[in-house]
A and B are shown apart, each in its own frame.
Chain A
Amino acid sequence: MVEMVSRPYARAFEAFAAGNPDILCLSADLTSSCEIDGFRDRHPDQFVSLGMAEQNMMSFAGGLGLAGFRPFLHTFGVFMYRRPYDQLIASIAYPRRKVRLMGFLPGVTTPGGMTHQAIEDIAVMRSIPNMTILETGDATEVESICAAADSVDGPVWCRVLRGSVPRLFDTPIRLGEMRVLAAGTDVLVVTSGICTEEAMRARAALAKAGVSIRHLHLHTIKPFDAAALLDHIGSVKHGVVTLENHVTEGGVGSLVAETMADAGIGKRLIRLGLKDSFAHGGSRPYLMRYYGLDALALVRGIADLTGAAFDITEEDLAAARVDEVHSLVKAEAL
């Protein structure tokens, strides 16, 4: 049974930032929702409340960067780029300010529906020069993302998980590397974020069905080690399946597609994720099932790629975690 870690970001950020005179914690009215309420209460001198005004927060952070500070911005990921995109470009990305953009509730991890779901942020960030992109897939990565992000000489976009987070890995994020979770020879599966746990659930059932999976987990999406990916693609017989908590355009699937096309790789690629579609509000397991982001969707994708018909049902997959959408901790789940 996987270990569940409660609010790993809250502890990790405080441990990393408290007492560092060059780090400031910026918040846009989602302080407890981003698990920095304890930091605010214990380290008010390092906490800057900027209210529900993200455009100002971006340029303000750029000004702090000019003064030599490394601000960590906290809000829901979706609010950190859709409205203040112009400011993100002009005040942060272009001048390479050391601003750490901690975007919470990536993709369908929020029940808040379209306005709350960052589903195209990676596509946007990948196209911005000077931007680094990190995504957390487990508690260990959440615990290590502050140090990883703060080691970058420039702005960093981070997809951060909150609340109860499974621990899948025992080593921290090493910037620019990828995790090799399985070294099979039939199909390469590339996942990131919460989809990695789904792929891990599917792997055991697929192994029983006789499919040898090679599984890569990406915590660093930009910069990206294309040569390493090509080596892995060269090690599998059939081709590649990607699964991401994001639209299939511009994210990890596109990254893999571009890498394959650039190198002239003739193998098949199946990209799983939100298929040119917005999502609606609901629980995470429901949304992952409904939009085809879960272990079962991956099994279907691998069947498509290999031409095999698997007799794998939901019952054959390792038990899904079902979080309570509403809890006493976050009554509104936002």
Chain B
Amino acid sequence: MRNEKSTEEVALGVRRRVFEHAMRNNGGYLSQACSAAEQLAWLYNEALTLGAPTLPMIPGPFAGVPSADNPGYHTGAGYNGPAAPHLDRLFIAPAHYALVAYATLVEVGRMAPEGLAMFNRDGSSVEMIGAEHSPGMEVHNGTLGIGLSTAAGLAYGRRRRGETGRTWVFMSDGEVQEGQTWEAVQACAFHGLEVRAIMDVNAQQCDGAMSSVMEVGDIRQKFIAFGAACVEVDGHDLAAIRQAAAERHDGKPLIILARTNPFHAMSILEERFPRLHYVRFTSEEERARFNLAIAEDLDIDPIDYAD
């Protein structure tokens, strides 16, 4: 199930949905939609081989945490289809991108729009920081830097079982400040694990521009030095992303560095630089002004958020 829309259309739809959500809720993870929409759209619409969703289009409410007393527990991975040997798996390593990931599920027909309306509502499984029971999630990644290691372990196990499906990770550049990321890359290289990752290199983190918080240097050279294949592309250029994904990486992980603009397609966001991690409008005037400007960028009518 794929390709009802072009990937460009999916990416635009993701931005429109995140924008609408942010306007109605007086803020949200707008900048992550600016930077990552093409990457997530490309993963779901082109790159991943996934089966049909196994969970209801409208997500059920929160149904408890894993415990011996909760035998009906399941993760949100069913929105990516079943776990089958020939199918791909995806981890959204920075779970703070959940809103953008959920919007992508809606755009590619894996979740109903009603699911997005449940975002961050009490009692909902569509949590603000993607939990493992949230749509499209299979593990908790709210603690940054553990996604690639999880993917490495899964890939090791799948290779051992002779499974042909690939293991993908969507990452963020802030994660390279965590030591575990480098432990994971060296383990992938040492064990010849061909894990695939695409990293949103938007150069932003919670405190602001990464260069002002903790300089990370030339991360492409660092990944290569740690034993990965690493390609750097314009993260808004789908043709370049496609070409990067075709890079040979025999016996190595492949890290695609998608250099992105944190204001892409919502240029007025630059006013809020360098605090882009979670944009909450500071006044009604600002909210209205952003509504008009972003709606024009996205070629839609302003959101009537009063209702």
Whether A associates with B in a native complex is: yes
Residue of A nearest to B142 (CB): A90
Interface contact B146-A87, CB-CB below 8 Å: yes
A48 within 8 A of B: yes
Residues of B within 8 A of A154 (CB): 68
A239 within 8 A of B: no
Interface contact A91-B187, CB-CB below 8 Å: no
| Per-position 1/0 for B145-161, Cβ under 8 A of A | 11001111111111011
B138 within 8 A of A: yes
Residues of B within 8 A of A96 (CB): 66-68
B166 within 8 A of A: no
Interface contact A87-B180, CB-CB below 8 Å: yes
Of the candidate stretches A53-61, A263-271, A279-287, A312-320, the one touching chain B is A53-61
B143 within 8 A of A: yes
Chain A interface size, as a band, is 20 to 34
**Closest-CB distance, B122 to chain A (whole angstroms):** 20
A219–B16 alpha-carbon span in the complex (Å): 58
B40 within 8 A of A: no
A16 within 8 A of B: no
**Closest-CB distance, B229 to chain A (whole angstroms):** 19
Interface contact A64-B183, CB-CB below 8 Å: no
B179 within 8 A of A: yes
- B149 touches which of A49, A60, A68 (Cβ 8 Å): A60
If A60-B152, A67-B153, A91-B149 touch, whether A53 touches B187 (CB-CB below 8 Å) is: yes
B196 within 8 A of A: no
If A60-B152, A60-B153, A66-B139 touch, whether A94 touches B187 (CB-CB below 8 Å) is: no
Interface contact B153-A62, CB-CB below 8 Å: yes
If A56-B187, A66-B138, A90-B140 touch, whether A48 touches B149 (CB-CB below 8 Å) is: no
Within 8 A of B (CB), among A123-180: 129-130, 153-154
B191 within 8 A of A: yes
**Closest-CB distance, B195 to chain A (whole angstroms):** 10
Within 8 A of A (CB), among B60-86: 65-68, 75
Interface centre among A48, A58, A95 (most CB of B within 10 A): A95
Interface contact A130-B67, CB-CB below 8 Å: yes
**Closest-CB distance, B203 to chain A (whole angstroms):** 25
Interface contact B154-A59, CB-CB below 8 Å: no
Residue of B nearest to A63 (CB): B153
Interface contact B187-A60, CB-CB below 8 Å: yes
B184 within 8 A of A: yes
A230 within 8 A of B: no
Interface contact A59-B132, CB-CB below 8 Å: no
**Closest-CB distance, B266 to chain A (whole angstroms):** 32
- A53 touches which of B66, B132, B142, B183 (Cβ 8 Å): B183
A313–B180 alpha-carbon span in the complex (Å): 52
Residues of B within 8 A of A61 (CB): 153
A66–B137 alpha-carbon span in the complex (Å): 13
B305 within 8 A of A: no
A62–B148 alpha-carbon span in the complex (Å): 11
B26 within 8 A of A: no
Residues of A within 8 A of B149 (CB): 55-56, 58-60, 62-63, 87, 91
Residue of A nearest to B75 (CB): A95
- B154 touches which of A56, A58, A64, A129 (Cβ 8 Å): A64
B273 within 8 A of A: no
B49 within 8 A of A: no
Residues of A within 8 A of B152 (CB): 56, 59-60, 63
Interface contact B186-A53, CB-CB below 8 Å: yes
If A90-B146, A95-B132 touch, whether A59 touches B67 (CB-CB below 8 Å) is: no
Residues of B within 8 A of A49 (CB): 190
Residue of B nearest to A59 (CB): B149
Interface contact A129-B67, CB-CB below 8 Å: yes
Residue of B nearest to A223 (CB): B68
A86 within 8 A of B: yes
A69 within 8 A of B: yes
Interface contact A91-B150, CB-CB below 8 Å: yes
Within 8 A of A (CB), among B152-184: 152-158, 160-161, 179-180, 183-184
Residues of A within 8 A of B150 (CB): 59-60, 62-63, 66, 91
If A51-B186, A55-B179 touch, whether A66 touches B154 (CB-CB below 8 Å) is: yes
Interface contact B132-A94, CB-CB below 8 Å: yes
- A91 touches which of B65, B75, B139 (Cβ 8 Å): B139
A50 within 8 A of B: yes
Interface contact B187-A67, CB-CB below 8 Å: no
**Closest-CB distance, B253 to chain A (whole angstroms):** 13
A163–B233 alpha-carbon span in the complex (Å): 54
Residues of A within 8 A of B140 (CB): 90, 94-95
Interface centre among B151, B152, B183 (most CB of A within 10 A): B183
Interface contact A63-B151, CB-CB below 8 Å: yes
Residue of A nearest to B140 (CB): A90
| Per-position 1/0 for A66-104, Cβ under 8 A of B | 111100000000000000001100110011100000000
Residues of A within 8 A of B158 (CB): 67
**Closest-CB distance, A229 to chain B (whole angstroms):** 21
- A60 touches which of B65, B67, B132, B156 (Cβ 8 Å): B156
Interface contact B187-A50, CB-CB below 8 Å: yes
Residues of B within 8 A of A (CB): 65-68, 75, 132, 138-143, 145-146, 149-158, 160-161, 179-180, 183-184, 186-187, 190-191
Please provide the 9 A-B residue pairs with the shortest distance between their CB atoms, ordered closest to farther. Answer: A63-B153, A67-B157, A59-B149, A56-B183, A60-B153, A63-B154, A53-B183, A55-B180, A63-B150
- A61-B153, A63-B150, A63-B155 known, 6 other contacts, Cβ within 8 Å: A48-B191, A56-B187, A59-B149, A62-B149, A63-B154, A67-B160
13 contacts between A and B (CB under 8 A): A49-B190, A56-B149, A56-B184, A59-B150, A60-B156, A60-B184, A64-B153, A64-B156, A66-B157, A86-B146, A87-B180, A95-B139, A96-B67
